[in-house]
Structure 1
């Protein structure tokens, strides 16, 4: 029997990482004869999955940005479907990025009704817009969910669901050396170090870097020897580097390769909300969270979102372990004050870091590797298809 052909579709940096992990796990099971095609970023490309277009342009936040990009998204959906029609895969795994991948799912279902469609990361229907569970159930054959609380929402709609866990809970920090990071960047062991993580989407970089610059200006007055490091995520690295170079003070640029070492080296992290908050918690560093989208999208979101928090470990712990500053509250004054609280009180910072770690256990830290579980589930779906 010939090896299966599997198409992976990722539209953002986080999805690219998930896709790469899944691809490697699938190859371990099937062997080099496994055929992988799809849409993704540099991590998937390094494994031989060449994307027909640059996914950076699909990193979209908010309704307004979505409307502006509608024509481009529609074109990229069509190109993705054409790739599926040309390759005729046995299964298509659609990774995160709800707005893009649900359109791709519906179009592939119409064009290739017999292909197995698998969604990897479902919409957070427990936080907002629960009707999306039914929409997804009608569009795909199987869901690979990140958290146990996801499953009941989709299974009620008849969608078979496998809980695989979050890859952020399985980050290998064993090789991350904070002391070595400080030495490499000429940062004294006792110097206060703030790590800034502005995001991985172009719109996040555009909205947040100016806020962070003004925040750091205030912090440098309070902490004379404050050192600053800024993570430049792969898909937005040149944009981040260019913006930070224009700051009137020095900031160390951190590549993806040294990101975890920087997390361990930092006294406090200031981060744009996202998966990275879980990774920072894994490193044992306390943090402050910020987030901004366009005002109209935010006004609409406030009507739809029911969750009290946006950071996953805050949601899991049902408390604001790490302080969150959203939209109009994400001001340089507020952020500087929150960072100062942690930077000036090491005992308080340690208590927060300890609480973050405790809640990671509730979220599934230490459970089996998500990429391995996801690969097993994909192959089970394919086996069931062949059997029927």
Structure 2
């Protein structure tokens, strides 16, 4: 198995919670994180090696990432595992999966690349690389089946883990927050590249909000100690070290549950915020050269998962040059201050939550076990 970042580790951990009881003695290894390790997974390389986003950012790390991919490929071709499971990270996993599938090793890809949003031509590469797709949005199953790729809709794991009615009081208590003070959670991303480009604008927006509402509490969860220290250095470099923040290590879902509104970097975390039924502003900044290339590649007007699933701008999206501290602060204030809008979002996000509920661990594990069984039998 290979997961390339924190969100993939969470998803893979959920799959393993269903798979491990059926395969108690299996040796499961590759690249992953702490949630996978809870189920006996062994990571051959640190997952952080793959956690790079953006065209030019990836190029800077290409030699090292390609070396890891080649080394893992050679090991897997020699040991011939019963199955390889790539979890998201399509630029790394699909190339590896294609080589393994050509060698007769069954491949599963969990979390379909967003071919319905951009780079739709990748479906041909997916067909060459993947024996079976596990998809987390209801509309995806038919897209892959029409392309001749076996697919199973397994629901989204986060829809099971996140309660339909979050316990706001408990979340605030665990963070030591006054139950009556307004709370904003800020999630600038889990990758170092995301922290590099998002942090200054996000925290500058927090400073502006605090000028407007001094009693506001700002919670900023970091994915780990390395990210936390890098974030602190970025604040120091930007002259923002005086902004009063509650910086946690982990606890992103606790921070979201505690919040009245959330400023969140585009990605899987936007869906987490929606499942917690929270008003949000979605924002993203990246290397300028990457932005100039990627902004013309999308098929849809939305980039945030809640907006894509709703097929409308339920919540604001502020990208690159539009993501100024002033614009972010103003958009966040509206999310905090408009009670009618908050009520509408709560209902829409509740409906979205129900649509994504399945027993993901059981259904994804069963699809993997069925593929292993079919492969063991060989061609009919």
TM-score normalized by the length of structure 1: 0.90
What's the counterpart of residue 255 of structure 1? 249
Asked if the contact 1:124/1:150 (under 8 Å) is kept, the reply is no
Q: Which runs of 5+ in 2 are unaligned?
A: none
Change (3 A) 1:74 1:282: same
Say how many residue pairs are matched: 374
Q: Which runs of 5+ in 1 are unaligned?
A: 1-7
1:358 aligns with 2:348: no
Aligned match of 2:15 in 22, 25, 40?
22
Aligned match of 1:202 in 159, 173, 192?
192
What's the counterpart of residue 295 of structure 2? 302
The CA distance in 1 between the partners of 2:125 and 2:264, in whole Å, is 32
**CA-based RMSD:** 2.1
What's the counterpart of residue 159 of structure 1? 149
- TM-fit CA distance, 1:194: 0.6
Deviations 1:15-38 (A, max 9, x none): 1112221122112233x2233222
Aligned match of 2:375 in 354, 364, 385?
385
What's the counterpart of residue 43 of structure 2? 51
What's the counterpart of residue 210 of structure 2? 220
The CA distance in 2 between the partners of 1:99 and 1:312, in whole Å, is 20
Secondary structure in structure 2 of the residue aligned to 1:84: helix
The CA distance in 2 between the partners of 1:343 and 1:100, in whole Å, is 39
The CA distance in 2 between the partners of 1:175 and 1:162, in whole Å, is 28
Change (3 A) 1:43 1:236: farther
The CA distance in 1 between the partners of 2:73 and 2:165, in whole Å, is 40
Q: Where do 1:258-297 residues align within 5 Å?
A: 258-297=251-290
TM-score normalized by the length of structure 2: 0.92
Secondary structure in structure 2 of the residue aligned to 1:162: strand
Asked if the contact 1:284/1:357 (under 8 Å) is kept, the reply is yes
Asked if the contact 1:342/1:349 (under 8 Å) is kept, the reply is yes
Deviations 1:115-150 (A, max 9, x none): 111111121111111110011101221111122322
Deviations 1:172-219 (A, max 9, x none): 338964323433444222211111111111111111111111101111
Aligned match of 1:132 in 122, 128, 131?
122
What's the counterpart of residue 230 of structure 2? 239
Asked if the contact 1:168/1:276 (under 8 Å) is kept, the reply is no
What's the counterpart of residue 63 of structure 1? 55
The CA distance in 1 between the partners of 2:230 and 2:323, in whole Å, is 21
Asked if the contact 2:101/2:131 (under 8 Å) is kept, the reply is no
- TM-fit CA distance, 1:85: 3.3
